[in-house]
Chain A
Amino acid sequence: GAVVSQHPSRVICKSGTSVKIECRSLDFQATTMFWYRQFPKQSLMLMATSNEGSKATYEQGVEKDKFLINHASLTLSTLTVTSAHPEDSSFYICSARSPSGTVSYEQYFGPGTRLTVT
């Protein structure tokens, strides 16, 4: 299957600073990537859909000015958590699907990034 990587795998930052998380599709091109957040012992929650060359679409309740998403190429999407607070501490996961995909096509997930805000 296709491989999606995330960097960094783990990050600790101070409250008020910004953190950038990268999501890369290593062996395929992805016009659409998704960003999820997962709190301990909870399920994944979709934050936003990232489309190459256009603005991301955010789910209800997700602050677009706080979680900046950029999908500048067919293999890279970035999520920047701005002015991070301790409540932003979570496991952030991205996924990607191939550009020719229909709903029958599977999504490939990255390994996740553990963010801790102190």
Chain B
Amino acid sequence: DAKTTQPNSMESNEEEPVHLPCNHSTISGTDYIHWYRQLPSQGPEYVIHGLTSNVNNRMASLAIAEDRKSSTLILHRATLRDAAVYYCIALSSNYKLTFGKGTLLTVNP
């Protein structure tokens, strides 16, 4: 599976947009980019996924670089409930999610 690299932590203010970066320079052409987040003492929650095109859903947007070597998860208006660890994962055909350390997002009121 392709390795992903994320900053250890990021901080944001409530009501402001947040851009969470992820590098995946060794991603193969068929690997999907998945994002999950995990609140303390809870199971991870699916956020969004994409292959080549940018994607939007009710939770977030995913911007994928043209060369697919990086992507950015965008939370348009951060709330206190968005404080979590965010995981960027390159999912290959074996369906296995390999979790890295993720990015701990802190949202300040």
Contacts and interface: CB of A to CB of B under 8 A. Distances in A.
Instruction: Find the residue from B32, B45, B95, B101 having the highest chain A CB count within 10 A.
Output: B95
A114 B43 CA distance: 11
Interface stretch (A12-20, A42-50, A67-75, A76-84): A42-50
Contacts of B38: 44
A112 B92 CA distance: 24
Most chain-B Cβ atoms within 10 A of its Cβ — which of A46, A91, A109? A109
A44 B44 contact: yes
A3 to B, nearest CB: 11
Interface in A85-118: 91, 93-95, 97, 101, 103-104, 106-112, 114
B49 A32 contact: no
A41 B12 CA distance: 21
Contact of B102 (A43, A45, A103): A43
Contacts of A108: 46
Contacts of B92: 103
Contacts of B100: 43
B43 A103 contact: no
- Interface size on A, as a range, is 20 to 34
B34 A32 contact: no
A106 B44 contact: no
29 contacts: A1-B46, A4-B43, A32-B95, A36-B99, A43-B100, A43-B102, A44-B44, A46-B96, A46-B98, A46-B99, A91-B41, A93-B43, A95-B43, A95-B44, A95-B97, A101-B95, A103-B30, A103-B31, A103-B32, A104-B51, A106-B34, A106-B46, A107-B46, A107-B95, A109-B43, A109-B44, A109-B46, A111-B43, A114-B41
Interface of B: 30-32, 34, 36, 38, 41-46, 49, 51, 87, 91-93, 95-102
Given A43-B99, A108-B46, A112-B41, 14 more contacts: A36-B99, A43-B101, A49-B96, A101-B95, A103-B31, A104-B49, A106-B46, A107-B46, A109-B43, A109-B44, A109-B45, A109-B46, A111-B43, A112-B43
